[in-house]
């Protein structure tokens, strides 16, 4: 029997959210059977020669949830808490996410259970190359295209691109996105998730008749998504009063200088020790009185036991799956406006799509083109989700899932079943 101490399972959350949206759509059982579950799962053993000479084995995964609307697409995560169920959940969310922003991809995710913070560059490179070789039959520009996720970056993508290309015998930049610019990466991809978060917050403020200038913001997680979102909000005149990372949390009720904080993080790897700020606990950050709360870390940050303490007006889910269904219900009853993950953080995969298109065409765009197109995609998706939320009187998360799942359902119905 489940107890309250059981670690929440992200895949259970993904299935529960699917059912809520499928019910609201009145989706027939046949279609549910076809689109709900991962299409393909690969589990691999990744032996790595560590710097001290001994061999250590890591467990890796690649899950393709859907290729109904196009090649499978999704990041690769390196984290000690990676499990198959987590990767299945993240792959499922990628499918609905790509459909919400209407880009021609399905969903996938990969991961390795490891602690990259305690590995050298050499160990990370050998692990990445061996993992790539293990998942090689699954990936490819027309099949499944990995990208960065938690604790992977453009360097990781460069190693994957190189390993894949060396095996095939010619350069294939389109096998991954989020690459360095010099290898066929797109301008603006690095900042794309945070920038997309920012655009959806702008849309939410407009909808709620709130001024972004002067609005107070708390950001949980200062990685790629959280730091860029914080920076753009700060530059737009919002007051970012608290920021945390996995090691600590800094707070100043008059607002933090985000440029200086990013500088410190780049230098020391931590936000802790930032001058003109006090240290607070992670639970305190989530409970701060603020206009906008940006959970930008991992899944299940806000649950039944801490949702009631949240005092934000808007929650912008830069992370994947930061709210558990029980938290959704509590926050909904408190009238908090939620920008759900598959909408809020879809800017990353949207610019991944732009990168893939540029690689396929061997023709590269200017940064401003990328930003303009991204803004259009994000704001259109926001409007589409909001319309369902208002017309069907369902929570924003259900509305986003209805949009995404509805598009996948339509595609599968037209394609029919093979054989």
Catalytic residues: 109
C-beta of 287: minimal distance to ligand GLU in Å? 27
| The two structure tokens encoding residue 140 | 């490819």
d(CA 319, CA 244): 14
How open is the CA angle 332-203-213, to the nearest 5 degrees? 100
d(CA 256, CA 264): 12
Residue ranges binding ligand GLU (CB under 6 A): 73-75, 147, 149, 177, 320, 345, 348-349, 352
d(CA 241, CA 301): 19
Residue with smaller CB distance to ligand GLU, 277 or 318: 318
C-beta of 186: minimal distance to ligand GLU in Å? 11
Residues 171 and 165 sit within 8 Å (Cβ to Cβ):
yes
Residues 107 and 93 sit within 8 Å (Cβ to Cβ):
yes
Residue with smaller CB distance to ligand GLU, 194 or 255: 194
C-beta of 62: minimal distance to ligand GLU in Å? 13
C-beta of 404: minimal distance to ligand GLU in Å? 13
Residue with smaller CB distance to ligand GLU, 18 or 151: 151
Q: Measured between alpha carbons, how far is residue 10 from residues 31, 64, 111 in Å?
A: 23, 16, 14
Rg of the chain on CA atoms, in Å: 20
Residues 6+ positions from 245 with CB-CB distance below 8 Å: 221, 222, 223, 265, 270, 271, 272
Residue with smaller CB distance to ligand GLU, 109 or 239: 109
Residue with smaller CB distance to ligand GLU, 58 or 93: 93
Among residues 367, 393, 388, the alpha carbon closest in space to that of 189 is found at 367
C-beta of 108: minimal distance to ligand GLU in Å? 8
Q: How many whole angstroms from its chain centre is CA 62? A: 16
Nearest residue (beta carbon) to ligand GLU: 75
Residue with smaller CB distance to ligand GLU, 255 or 321: 321
d(CA 314, CA 151): 27
Residues 285 and 244 sit within 8 Å (Cβ to Cβ):
yes
């Amino acid at each position: 029997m489940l107890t309250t101490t059981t670690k929440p399972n992200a895949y259970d959350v993904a299935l529960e959210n699917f059912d809520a949206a499928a019910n609201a759509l009145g989706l027939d059982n046949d279609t549910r059977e076809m689109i709900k579950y991962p299409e393909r799962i690969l589990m691999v053993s990744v032996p790595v020669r560590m710097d001290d000479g001994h061999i250590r084995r890591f467990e890796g995964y690649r899950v393709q949830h859907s290729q109904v609307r196009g090649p499978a697409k999704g990041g690769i995560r390196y984290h000690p808490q990676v499990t198959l169920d987590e990767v299945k959940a993240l792959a499922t969310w990628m499918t609905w996410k790509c459909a919400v922003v209407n880009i021609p991809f399905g969903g996938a995710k990969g991961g390795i259970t490891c602690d990259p913070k305690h590995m050298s560059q050499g160990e990370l490179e050998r692990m990445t190359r061996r993992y790539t070789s293990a998942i090689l039959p699954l990936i490819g520009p027309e099949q499944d295209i990995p990208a960065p996720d938690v604790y992977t970056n453009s360097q990781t993508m460069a190693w994957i691109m190189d390993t894949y290309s060396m095996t095939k015998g010619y350069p294939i930049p389109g096998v991954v996105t989020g690459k360095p610019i010099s290898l066929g990466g797109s301008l603006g991809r690095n900042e794309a998730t945070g920038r997309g978060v920012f655009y959806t917050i702008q849309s939410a403020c407009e909808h709620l008749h709130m001024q972004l200038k002067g609005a107070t913001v708390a950001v949980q997680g200062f990685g790629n998504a959280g730091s860029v979102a914080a920076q753009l909000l700060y530059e737009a005149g919002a007051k970012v009063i608290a920021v945390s990372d996995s090691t600590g949390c800094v707070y100043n009720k008059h607002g933090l200088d985000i440029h200086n904080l990013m500088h410190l993080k780049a230098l020391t790897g931590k936000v802790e020790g930032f001058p003109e700020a006090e240290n607070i606990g992670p639970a305190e950050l989530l409970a701060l009185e603020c206009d906008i709360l940006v959970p930008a870390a991992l899944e299940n940050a806000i649950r039944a036991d801490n949702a009631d303490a949240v005092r934000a007006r808007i929650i912008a889910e830069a992370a994947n799956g930061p709210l558990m269904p029980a938290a959704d219900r509590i926050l909904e009853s408190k009238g908090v406006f939620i920008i759900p993950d598959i909408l809020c953080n879809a800017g990353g995969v949207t610019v991944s799509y732009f990168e893939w298109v540029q690689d396929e065409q061997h023709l590269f765009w200017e940064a401003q083109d990328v930003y303009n197109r991204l803004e259009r995609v994000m704001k259109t998706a926001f409007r589409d989700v909001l319309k369902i939320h208002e017309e069907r009187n369902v929570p924003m998360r259900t509305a986003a899932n209805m949009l995404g799942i509805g598009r996948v359902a339509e595609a599968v119905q037209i394609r029919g079943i093979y054989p």
